[in-house]
Structure 1
Amino acid sequence: MRGGDMTYQQQTRRGFMAVTGAAAAMAALPGEVLGKTRRIAPSDRVNVAVIGAGGMGASNMAKLTSQNIVALADVDFEHVAESFVGDAGQSPERIALKAAYDKAAKFSDYRRMLDRQKDIDAVVIATPDHHHAFAAKAAMERGLHVYVQKPLAYSVREGRLLLDLARKDPKLVTQMGNQGHSGDDGRRVVEMIRGGAIGRVREVHVWTNRPVWPQGEARPEAVEAPASLNWDVWRGPANVDWGYHPDYAHFNWRGWVPFGVGALGDMGAHLIDFPFWALEPGLPTRIETRHSRWGGDTNPWDGKGPDELTSYPLASVTHYQFGNAKGGPLHMTWYDGGLMPPTPAGLPAGTRMDPGGGVLFVGDQGMLMHETYGSNPTLIGEGVAARAAAIPQSLPRIAGGMGGHEMNWIRAIRGEEKISSPFDYAVPLNETMVLGIVALKAEQPIDYDGGAGRITNAPDANRFLDREYRKGWEL
């Protein structure tokens, strides 16, 4: 990272959260690295394990069947088996993956896998959000390279802990699963913005149709968990005892506060990525989130939120101010729940704003709009296309584009190329995302000192930079 982000890196080395209570625990550094990272030559195959082998984990691992898939950890192998049924399960990628899975060692608890399986070089982590940091820390302390699905971490403190671990062992290759960062379109967007195609950018709008899962609802009554599901391990670090319900596992967990980070956690890594990359704004200095009512809020008019945070609001708008942005102050607005900014004037005929998600950069000489993952950039304004065409390529392209994000990680492990989205970049991006959730929980604007990692105008809100952990699952 360059420019203003270097200030962030220097500052985080000096410490984190010099305040009392929960913040004091956040200042603690992780233990020394326990394992030794194996040197892997370009001619070698990497021994890969996966935590969360179905769903998104299967999608990731289907790109890695050229490697040695040595172990799987999953709380429900009947659910994993669903990855190989139907037409999609008969694709060559999935057939090869099933063969690899059939040969691999299997564990229902990833802690046991990491303790017992000694031939692992690298781990893909594709669990619900609340496990990401715990699993990544356990792997990294054993000297294992990690590919962690987005959001990288549930909280500010978790992200900074992982960044500290990565810096303690520079041999570790770390990657967040924001595959758009490896896409050709997204890289061209960054080149055009940095090259001045639309002039100086002071305003950005980002939107998504998420949630597409339950939100804005009170938590349901618990029911008996399926016999195939290890519910105790699935619950993991979450410090709630709600019991099982299918609205939590296997897909719908993202909208429930103890388990997920809502729409911002799901899509912020894909959408906020490009303004964060192109404009180098550093961490936000002021954040405010407006929202519909919380799930389970019986008095949404008092402005205080419910006594128990259950599911996130169905829709929200988050305003970010970046007072230390490289090119001068920047304002970014995030919309979810199907909310969108107004259609920009001058949009080319036949072009529409994708309701599924997108980004609109507003410059003083034009605008640039793209869809999720940086796809299909559209230039708006007189002279913009000509200026853009004159901007040379300056960023390397990743083989396979978005579909090559996983193998980029493998090639980086083998020393063949640079990693696309390492923790040095992904942690401050993730921190920006989850600060929107912090402002949501705080129910007021927050002023943020990124160097110190603390909220300065509402001290009680600093507790939302961390979370409480279930006994035995503490970080």
Structure 2
Amino acid sequence: MNRWIDAGMTRRDWLGGTAATVGLFALPDSAAAKRRIRPSDRVNVAVIGAGGMGAQNMAKLTGQNIVALADVDFAHVAKSFVDDKGAARPDRVELKAAYDRAAKFGDYRRMFDARKDIDAVVIATPDHHHAIAAKTAMERGLHVYVQKPLTYTVREGRVLLDLARRNPKLVTQMGNQGHSGDDGRRAVELIRGGVIGRVREVHVWTNRPLWPQGEARPAPVAKPATLDWDLWLGPAPVNWGYNPDYAHFNWRGWVPFGVGSLGDMGAHLIDFPIWALQPGLPTRVETRHSRWGGDSDIWDGKPPADLGSYPLANITTYQFGRAPGGPLTLTWYDGGLMPPTPAAMPASARMNPDGGVLYVGDRGLMMHDTYGEKPVLIGDGVEARAAAVPVTLPRILGGRDAHEMNWIRAIRGEEAISSPFSVAVPLNETMILGMVALRADKPIEYDGTTGRITNLPDANQFLDREYRPGWTI
């Protein structure tokens, strides 16, 4: 088990490795879990980032009271109710009616100040807002559902975990819906049940990015009249002018706003080997990559000082030197790259180019798609061994498609929460450490107990970030 450093540390303490416990983030008793919500109650839900992914989440929650929306561009939100041809979507009629009734805010900080009837908040903003929105909500005693990646930095994750631990009545969930799926849970049971033997090697891949990446920054253009660009930038410490290559969908590949492909898909893929094998935090991480976006023709091996877009493709190798069953290596591939085919793989087997996970055991192989879907076993005797593995993990009512309702039912005390911050933060930290190694451009050696990079002191700066005034966490 890894201990987590106290999230109440100052930034100087964090970067200096001081393990001071100051308890800055405990909530007053009057704020924690503001009202008792019974199984028969409807939960008063607000959403931050009401269009796009937020609309997908909220479409699952129309049986609750949707009381408030915060978004920087409600014209963009309106597109969530129509198809590509502009026709009304029948599956979004209830959501549109609920949105029409809800109070609307541009700035989520003002929403929290104005509305005291909110019980729970869905946060579906770009990555750079996640931690600030979540912390602000939790400090007001609100349950939170936060899209993946949970946070932009390692430190932010530890701050949220500290808040969650100090306030156990708050129900927290990360939006990695595969964690609630039946297939993913069975995959975990099969690995834990020893069906393919001892696993020392895991390969994880995705076809992301599906957005601009590995490119130079585009020239600013006039923003849509309906978009509050300054609020969209929020905590990002840059003064970039608007370009559609940033918002509303394409922000993931740009360093101030997103955490690249690892942030997008790591929570849907790395989740399962971490869950099944419980290796703890990585002890060594190295990233090999294509060129950073905007490089000159002369490449000196270092990322540009003014980082723009992430490299188009990365291979990140995680070493888990303290895994309970012995050292484990997990390798991540993105940008369309995929692992080599194991010699034991039959000609009929196919790695899904969209994304998947391959476990290499000493008694066979297991492979599954993104979200833990469609696990396939390969090797002599694996099917017989699999048949003997009992169901040990609880199944979530409604499975992967009910991840949002699992959060609601947990708030009402009806069902255990699927992916609380106690689970999500270590997973998120593992993901984000890949981006830290990318920024360091050298292998990093990591002490998960203190949350420190031990071999490259200067790289510890990448565990944290700077914020624009008014947006600090």
TM over 0.5: yes
| Structure 1 vs Structure 2 CA RMSD | 1.9
Which of 68, 75, 80 is equivalent to 1:78?
75
Structure 2 distance, partners of 1:324, 1:237, is 35
Q: Secondary structure at the match of 1:60?
A: helix
Distance 1:310 1:30, change over 3 A: farther
What is the correspondence of 1:426-445 to structure 2 with a 5 Å cutoff? 426-445=424-443
Residue aligning to 1:317: 315
- The CA deviation string for residues 300-345 of structure 1, in whole angstroms up to 9 with x for no partner, is 6311121211100000000000011121110000000000001233
Structure 2 distance, partners of 1:127, 1:391, is 40
- The CA deviation string for residues 159-201 of structure 1, in whole angstroms up to 9 with x for no partner, is 0000000011100000000000000000000000000000000
Which of 144, 148, 151 is equivalent to 1:150?
148
Which of 206, 217, 231 is equivalent to 1:233?
231
Q: Secondary structure at the match of 2:5?
A: helix
Distance 1:289 1:391, change over 3 A: same
Structure 2 distance, partners of 1:135, 1:172, is 15
Aligned length, in residue pairs: 468
Residue aligning to 2:215: 217
Q: Secondary structure at the match of 1:190?
A: helix
Is the Cα contact below 8 Å between 2:182 and 2:396 reproduced in 1? yes
Residue aligning to 1:459: 457
- 42-51 or 20-29, which deviates more: 20-29
2:5 is the counterpart of 1:12? yes
2:302 is the counterpart of 1:304? yes
Q: Secondary structure at the match of 1:302?
A: coil
- 437-446 or 380-389, which deviates more: 380-389
Q: Secondary structure at the match of 1:12?
A: coil
Structure 1 distance, partners of 2:87, 2:268, is 26
What is the correspondence of 1:350-429 to structure 2 with a 5 Å cutoff? 350-429=348-427
Is the Cα contact below 8 Å between 2:17 and 2:452 reproduced in 1? no
1:382 CA drift (Å): 0.8
2:44 is the counterpart of 1:51? no
Is the Cα contact below 8 Å between 2:25 and 2:162 reproduced in 1? no
- The CA deviation string for residues 89-130 of structure 1, in whole angstroms up to 9 with x for no partner, is 755541111111010000011110011111000000000000
Distance 1:89 1:137, change over 3 A: farther
Q: TM-score, normalised by structure 1?
A: 0.95
- 217-226 or 178-187, which deviates more: 217-226
Structure 1 distance, partners of 2:468, 2:235, is 5
Structure 1 distance, partners of 2:233, 2:54, is 18
What is the correspondence of 1:21-420 to structure 2 with a 5 Å cutoff? 22-23=15-16, 30-33=24-27, 35-37=31-33, 38-86=35-83, 90=88, 92-298=90-296, 301-348=299-346, 350-420=348-418
Distance 1:89 1:116, change over 3 A: farther
Gaps of 5+ in 2: none
Structure 2 distance, partners of 1:212, 1:81, is 23
Percent identical residues:
73
Is the Cα contact below 8 Å between 2:82 and 2:89 reproduced in 1? no
- 133-142 or 374-383, which deviates more: 374-383
1:32 CA drift (Å): 3.6
Distance 1:18 1:323, change over 3 A: farther
Q: Secondary structure at the match of 2:299?
A: helix
Give the residue type in structure 1 aligned to 2:189. E
1:18 CA drift (Å): 9.8
Structure 2 distance, partners of 1:355, 1:75, is 35
Q: Secondary structure at the match of 1:334?
A: strand
Structure 2 distance, partners of 1:18, 1:85, is 45
- 291-300 or 408-417, which deviates more: 291-300
- The CA deviation string for residues 199-255 of structure 1, in whole angstroms up to 9 with x for no partner, is 000000000000000001111111111100011110000000011111000000000
Give the residue type in structure 1 aligned to 2:374. N
Is the Cα contact below 8 Å between 2:207 and 2:336 reproduced in 1? yes
